[in-house]
Amino acid sequence: MNSGVKEYSKNIQKAITALQKGEMILLFDLEGREAETDFTIAANAVTPEAVRWMRKDAGGLMCVALDPAVCEQLGLPFIADIMRDATQCNTSLEKIVEKGGDLKYDSRSSFSIWVNHRDTRTGIPDNDRALTINKLGEIVDRTLNGEKVHFGSEFRTPGHVATLRAAKGLVHARMGQTELSIALAKIAGITPAMVVCEMLDDQNGRALAKGDAKHYGEDHNLVFVEGEEVVEAYDIWLSSQ
């Protein structure tokens, strides 16, 4: 942990400790944006039980957010860019590929490709998804340690785990759970590969209200962190580097 940790809020310090222990936290982005709370956990810490927990109690899409520099080294593109290139062969795609103004909550999505690890069978059961997620964490570690790795030798696409490519500049460029979770990973000094999964309301199918998400966190002893807290802590972390 870096020397600037003494300046973080008590809540951020609790989140850092939880993430370093491989525990789940709850991460809210921003009112007026998606206004969603995500289950958030380090990819390296995910187990089949954690996948089951997210699947049953969160209910949203399980994704793995990845460090932008690692994505560059591994050659992981934004899926929208792949689709734009594909329009050269299939012009019907031009009308459906994401473009500026399509999203109500941001200027662009962070989706990269969907993958399964090659050691999985179908890729969708809890144990298969946990394996794919763990291996994504491992390949990020290996890349950051200077190892030359070939992504395609371990993963295939299409698959059942969505990868997210964090924006360069992280929360200073975009305020999604993708960037917020990677910023938290950097603050906590853990591998910048983070699983995020939106909490949905069982009654109306919409994003779970922030108040209800907070109550869930209290009932399950999970730290609840807001995006603005993460930005403040990330700026402190940057100043200490």
Indicate which residue of 44, 116, 229, 234 is catalytic.
116
Indicate which residue of 11, 81, 105, 228 is catalytic.
105
Q: Which helix (H) or strand (E) holds 37?
A: strand 37-42
Active site residue 197: no
Instruction: Give the closest residue to 46 by CA, choosing from 127, 108, 118, 142.
Output: 127
> What value, to the nearest 5°, has the Cα angle with vertex 157 and ends 152 and 161?
110
Active site residue 71: no
Indicate which residue of 198, 216, 229, 234 is catalytic.
198
Indicate which residue of 160, 172, 212, 235 is catalytic.
160
Lookup result for tokens 């992504």: 151
User: Torsion over CA of 62, 41, 241 and 135, rounded to 10 degrees?
Assistant: -70
Indicate which residue of 63, 67, 229, 234 is catalytic.
63
Active site residue 198: yes
Active site residue 105: yes
Q: Which helix (H) or strand (E) holds 159?
A: strand 155-165
Indicate which residue of 34, 38, 128, 229 is catalytic.
38
Q: Could you list the active site residues?
A: 38, 63, 105, 116, 160, 198
